[in-house]
Amino acid sequence: LAELHHGGRLREAAACYAIPLEQWLDLSTGINPLGWPVPSLPAECWQRLPEADDGLEQAAAAYYGAAQLQAVAGSQAAIQTLPRLRPPCRVGILAPSYAEHAAAWRCHGHEVVALGTNDIETQLPALDVLLLVNPNNPTGECFTGEQLLAWHEALAARGGWLLVDEAFIDATPGLSLAAYSGRAGLIVLRSLGKFFGLAGARVGFVLAWPALLEQLAARLGPWAVSGPSREVARLALSDRAWQAQTRQCLLRESARLHSLLQEYHLPPVDGTALFQYCPTPEAERLHDALARQGILTRLFQQPSALRFGLPGSEAEWQRLAQALESLITTPKQRAVEW
Ligand SMILES: Cc1ncc(COP(=O)(O)O)c(C=O)c1O
């Protein structure tokens, strides 16, 4: 399976643009730059095998408001495993969206139907699985709970699944379907990589009905998540004060990013608390021009667009503003080139 392109490949950018790694401002992912502060861990986290009753699942159940869940080594592990749990079928996936989903379903012999938002309703009767990222990455598009539950009901009535990837939902938990995830045919994916900023820990959760979780657990085998990662995730999921403060902070920061990009004639069409999405025919040129100044953004080709993650400090905000300013030299050029 060919490796897909992702944000966060800073070493590759450093080599490509001959700029040392430590001089980069990486805005190419949707990872919170001010992630949960990881403490040093007790030695037994490293030395003992992880045990199921260490409190992680209880902390996750309380945080997500869902009793039935399975910890996975990042939601990526679930993305790759879930297509093995159905015989070949028709899977509708929004396009553009997070590309690992379509690749994983195709890899296991399923037929993937690329959907625009307006196609979902008409295509639904011909689908076995509807897969949506909510809010969507990279576009930031959101679906309402009411709409999703209606689609779930139609699919579940004939043994189908609604699979909702909520990797970017933590700052807006009211949008989540977690509370409904015990229903047969409804699968919700969550990640600790984005809002909590713990992408390197590789922890996510699958929220679903018990029979599916049993099948998934059997596929994943024992010790699916490492001891240190389980402990860090347990602590982060239990830290209500940090979560409340971070939700507010990210919503404020993402509004600031939206305004900044608008000011420099790159109006985002949409975004989430963790990134802004800017379709522009100039995406490739702008991506290159910013990279020459050591600022890495995420470039999309189809459709042509840039995604900007959040700067983490005031100095980084200033650096981004100056770089955007330097790309437009005269008022005339502003109008023509941007
Ligand atoms: C929409 C979406 N889902 C899932 C993932 C995978 O995240 P992780 O495996 O770190 O939980 C990503 C990573 O970029 C993503 O953007």
pLDDT digits (tens, 9 = 90+) for 186-201: 999 999 999 999 999 9
Question: Is 134 within 8 Å of 144 (Cβ atoms)?
Answer: no
User: Which is the closest atom of ligand 1 to the Cα of 193?
Assistant: 10
pLDDT of 255 strictly over 90:
yes
pLDDT of 1 strictly over 60:
no
pLDDT of residue 175: 96
Q: What is the pLDDT of residues 219-248, one digit of tens each?
A: 999 999 999 999 999 999 999 999 999 999
pLDDT of 3 strictly over 80:
no
- Expressed in angstroms and rounded, the spacing between residue 214 Cα and the centre of ligand 1 is 22
**Of 2 and 209, the one with more pLDDT:** 209
| Mean pLDDT score across all residues of the chain | 95
Q: Two tokens at 18?
A: 């001959």
- Expressed in angstroms and rounded, the spacing between residue 131 Cα and the centre of ligand 1 is 14
User: Which is the closest atom of ligand 1 to the Cα of 133?
Assistant: 1
- Expressed in angstroms and rounded, the spacing between residue 313 Cα and the centre of ligand 1 is 24
Smallest Cα–Cα separation from 290: which of 24, 106, 82, 47? Answer: 24
CA-nearest residue, atom 3 of ligand 1:
167
Per-residue pLDDT averaged across 10-38, rounded? Answer: 95
- Expressed in angstroms and rounded, the spacing between residue 254 Cα and the centre of ligand 1 is 19
pTM (whole model) above 0.85: yes
Q: What is the pLDDT of residues 115-155, one digit of tens each?
A: 999 999 999 999 999 999 999 999 999 999 999 999 999 99
Q: What is the pLDDT of residues 158-172, one digit of tens each?
A: 999 999 999 999 999
Inter-CA distances, 246 with 35, 55, 68, 205, 273, Å: 9, 23, 26, 20, 10
pLDDT of residue 336: 47
User: Which is the closest atom of ligand 1 to the Cα of 75?
Assistant: 11
Q: What is the pLDDT of residues 57-78, one digit of tens each?
A: 999 999 999 989 999 999 999 9
Inter-CA distances, 242 with 58, 168, 172, 180, 249, Å: 18, 17, 15, 26, 10
pLDDT of 276 strictly over 50:
yes
Smallest Cα–Cα separation from 300: which of 60, 97, 94? Answer: 97
Q: What is the pLDDT of residues 318-331, one digit of tens each?
A: 999 999 999 875 45
pLDDT of 332 strictly over 80:
no
Query: What lines the ligand 1 site, CB under 6 Å?
Result: 74-76, 98, 133, 137, 165, 167, 191, 193, 199, 204
